[in-house]
Amino acid sequence: MDRSTFTGLFLILIILVGSFYLTKPSEEEIKKEQQRQDSIALVQTEAPKESLSDSLAQQSQLATEVDSSTMRGPFGAARMGSEQLIVLENELIKAEISSKGGRVKSVEIKGDKTFSGAPLILYQGDQNRFGLIFTTSENVLINTNDFYFQSQGDNNNYIVQNQDGKELTMRLSYNANQYVDYVYTLKSNSYQLGLTIMTKGLQNIASASTKELILQLATSLPQKEQDLNDERQKSTAYFKELNGDVEDLSTTKDDSETLPSKTEWISFKQHYFSSVLINDNGFDGGDIKVMTSTNDTIVKSFVANVNLAFNKQEINTYPLHFYFGPNKFHTLKDQGHDLEKQVYMGWGPMRWINRLVTLPVFNALESLNWSYGLIILALTILIKIALSPLTYKSYLSMAKMRVLKPEMDQIKEKVGEDNQTLLQQEYLKLYKQAGVNPMGGCIPVLLQMPFMMAFFFFFPNLFELRGESFLWMKDLSTYDSLISFSTVPILNLNHISLMCILMTCATLLTTWYNNAVSGAAGQMKYIGYIMPLVFFFVLNSYPSGLNYYYFLSTCFTFLIQFFIRRSVNDEKIHAMIQANKKKPESAKKKSTFQKRMEDYMRQQQQKGQKG
């Protein structure tokens, strides 16, 4: 590989490595920011029971302290009670509805487990809040999360299998004609839990100035994956403007956003699972916040306050629905509402490569019911075959430069290294006579770079690999640990990945072969060995599926280059170059690079003459 190729690749790799480390917050920064946030949001170490939002929620909690005066206030009879749980369950999810707040207390995703093998509970217990907030005509702040609802009908659990669905109504009563209903519906084989909020007679309870109700959601999501730091880096809040685009908050620091005036949905997204609240008519604005917890069992905490338009009429109805499920691209896409945009596929051309090429090919291979290790193998082979013309063109260009090297050395010896302008002019004449483009080996490599980088985003966000094993790798969605040890502070290293070692060794072998073929020397030679070692520390904690792909890709690249090397005859290339030298200048086609270099050299000559 020539100097230009190495220089281009080196700069690209430096940018990647630099951006990775510069955007990653330190533990000290996370803890410092968390301390600041503690003044406005409570994230307790075991089970947060207070509000995670602002003073509005804090006032609500104070307003619900039980004493003789509050018992006589609005919904006073519902301020005390005992919690009862009713289960809504189908083939995919199991949701517990609590009489305390009438809210969804916990959701289990069936068929999935945490990294430790425990049932996968999306969120649970008092780590989540859900309630309507408004002020009464007596200037009492109400948060329905703190009141006890009553189920309408029996209190039996509902199991939905191969049925149209079940409905559960939880009611917060003021009197027989004034109440708030949460109507839950669950259909068979669905990750969606319907929720219709209906208020009756509330216009006579709420203050005259009330134009909207605030619906508050807050939760702290427990760890589900092996690598907590990686799970935090891929967890944040998302929202979508009605008839607009999907937006997300920062993944690397605490963040908050004011929601658009019409917001279609909000989402609390963990790495591989999401809790989404959807309003087809749109919420009337609000705010959303995400915070990193200092608790080593909590990934992040989320708070959202969304507004529901309140009309001064007998009945107000708000049809909503939840999505509780995996961040699997096609599963999210089937829900509608652009939920699949929560699956990060990279930026710029990498996103379109993954969505239009990689994902369809992967799904086609998945339909063959192979193991995912074999699917990645087949995907690698197909990609390498598709890119082989570029690989061949790159190698052929490097072979031409290798054949020209003796003549370039003669020119360098004759002209010397002191006058770089003259040296480049002589090189340019040689390139022109031989019909060789010195950038011809670099351009095909750069064209392949987006495909290589696309997988850097594809595999770490691919739900299908979660929990899938291959060879010694127990889970392709996270790192394989050959050796584990106490964390090394400077390197932030607590394990060694065997697949990452194999990938690094394969890259070093390929670099050695390229150096031997191209005759690279000096700093170019050593850069090729340094970069794989740098990337070992970067990729050591990345999914074993990604390192497995890079290992296969490097091995196939080595084989392709080996066979191309055997098929390319340097003597024929030399004869072709010599024949091209004998052609008249008018018959030689100049490359864009040659034209630009000629213009540059001409400008340098003019400056030298003026000087």
* Distance in angstroms (rounded) separating the CA atoms of residues 128 and 132: 14
pLDDT of residue 581: 63
Question: At residue 343, does pLDDT exceed 90?
Answer: yes
The reported pTM is 0.78
Mean pLDDT of 463-476: 94
Domains of the chain: 3-20+354-581 (no CATH), 48-343 (2.70.98.90)
Nearest in space to 476 (alpha carbons), one of 340, 349, 350, 362: 362
**256 half-sphere exposure, CB direction, 13 A CA radius:** 16
β-pairing, 255-259 with 212-222? Answer: unpaired
> What pLDDT, on the 0 to 100 scale, is given for residue 123?
83
- 235-293 pLDDT per residue, tens: 999 999 998 999 999 999 999 999 999 999 999 999 999 999 999 999 999 999 999 98
Res. 305 pLDDT band, cuts 50 70 90: very high
| Nearest Cα to Cα of residue 286 among 255, 318, 263, 268 | 263
**pLDDT score of 590:** 53
Q: What is the pLDDT of residue 470?
A: 94
Q: Decide if pLDDT at 335 tops 90.
A: yes
Region of 64 on the Ramachandran plot (φ > 0 left; ψ -120 to 50 alpha; else beta): alpha
Describe the crossing of helices 420-434 and 570-581 by its angle, rounded to 10 degrees. 100
What is the share, in percent, of the chain residues with pLDDT greater than 70? Answer: 76
Q: Roughly how many angstroms between the first and final C-alpha of the chain, as a whole number?
A: 37
Q: Write out pLDDT tens, residues 424-452.
A: 777 777 777 666 666 665 666 677 788 88
Mean pLDDT of the chain: 80
Banded model confidence at residue 534, pLDDT cuts 50, 70, 90: confident
Residue 22 identity: L
The 8-class DSSP code of residue 118 comes to: -
Digit-coded pLDDT (tens) for 539-598: 988 999 999 999 999 999 888 878 877 776 667 766 766 776 666 655 455 555 555 555
Residue 246, beta-bridge partner list: 240
Q: Which of 503, 513, 587 is nearest to 540 (CA)?
A: 503
Beta carbons of 464 and 327 less than 8 angstroms apart: no
> What backbone phi and psi angles, to 5 degrees, belong to 495?
-160, 165
The HSE-up count of residue 139 (CA atoms within 13 Å, CB side) is 0
| From 57-66, 123-132, 284-293, 601-610, the region with the lowest mean pLDDT | 57-66
Sheet holding 158-159, edge to edge: 119-123, 104-113, 93-98, 85-89, 158-159
Give the residue ranges of DSSP H helices in 487-541. 498-518, 523-539
Predicted confidence (pLDDT) at residue 513 exceeds the cutoff of 70: yes
- CA–CA distance, 331 with 161 (Å, rounded to integer): 19
Mean pLDDT is lowest, of 199-203, 480-484, 573-577, 594-598, for 594-598
What is the pLDDT, as a whole number, of residue 414?
76
More confident residue, 74 or 329: 329
> Tens of pLDDT along 20-54?
444 455 555 444 444 444 433 433 333 333 334 44
Q: Is the pLDDT of residue 415 over 80?
A: no
